[in-house]
């Protein structure tokens, strides 16, 4: 398996990510313009995991200040924190959801956040299995957690979590 940063210059990357977006519940996934914009923004961290030339996982992290800018209307409790990135999208193909790919994505995002001078991550996750797994993964490093419901994420209970990564 190989993890790497990607951007909009790589032929076929928008299409590859859009294919994975279909794995998200309706309303949570991005459209073509959003994916292209995310890949083009140099402040963002776009990481893919490949296995035998096939993309099996993808994660996007954006600076917390940018996340707050577009989420504040739906979640007035979200705040800007220096050194924090917001893991906005993460997906693993269905036949590889054993936790290995997700942990590798998180590890690679954390390494890149550190390279950029950051020290923490935030994210909204569907409440339940994934949020429980993330809490266990970051045991002792959770600095904030609460329940949220954002209309743009559909009718889903979410867990908002902030973790230290240094």
pLDDT at 22: 62
What confidence score (pLDDT) does residue 118 get? 96
Pairing verdict, β 45-51 and 54-63: antiparallel
CB 149 within 8 A of CB 156: yes
pLDDT tens, 47-73? 999 999 899 998 999 999 999 998 999
Which pLDDT score is estimated for 24? 59
pLDDT at 136: 85
- Burial of 54 (C-beta count, 10 Å sphere; 0-12/13-18/19+): exposed
The pTM is what? 0.87
2-164, what's its fold? Answer: Aminopeptidase (3.40.630)
Per-residue tens of pLDDT for the chain, all 166 residues: 999 988 878 888 888 887 776 655 554 556 676 777 888 899 999 999 999 989 999 899 999 999 999 899 999 999 999 999 999 888 888 888 888 898 899 999 999 999 999 999 999 987 776 788 888 889 999 999 999 988 877 777 889 999 999 7
- Residue 76 burial (10 A CB sphere; 0-12, 13-18, 19+): exposed
């Amino acid at each position: 398996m190989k993890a790497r940063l990607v951007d909009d210059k790589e032929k076929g990357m928008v299409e590859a990510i859009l294919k994975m977006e279909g794995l998200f519940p309706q309303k949570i996934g991005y459209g073509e313009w959003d994916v292209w914009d995310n890949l083009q923004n140099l402040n963002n961290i776009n990481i893919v995991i490949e296995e035998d030339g096939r993309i099996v996982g993808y994660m996007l992290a954006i600076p917390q200040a940018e996340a707050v800018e577009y989420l504040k209307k739906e979640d007035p409790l979200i705040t800007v924190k220096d050194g924090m990135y917001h893991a906005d999208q993460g997906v693993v193909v269905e036949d590889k959801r054993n936790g290995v790919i997700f942990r590798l994505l998180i590890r690679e995002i954390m390494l890149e956040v550190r390279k950029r001078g950051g020290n923490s991550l935030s994210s909204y996750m569907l409440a339940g299995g994934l949020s429980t797994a993330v809490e266990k993964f970051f045991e002792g490093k959770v600095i904030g957690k609460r329940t949220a419901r954002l209309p743009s994420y559909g009718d889903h209970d979410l867990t908002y979590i902030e973790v230290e990564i240094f």
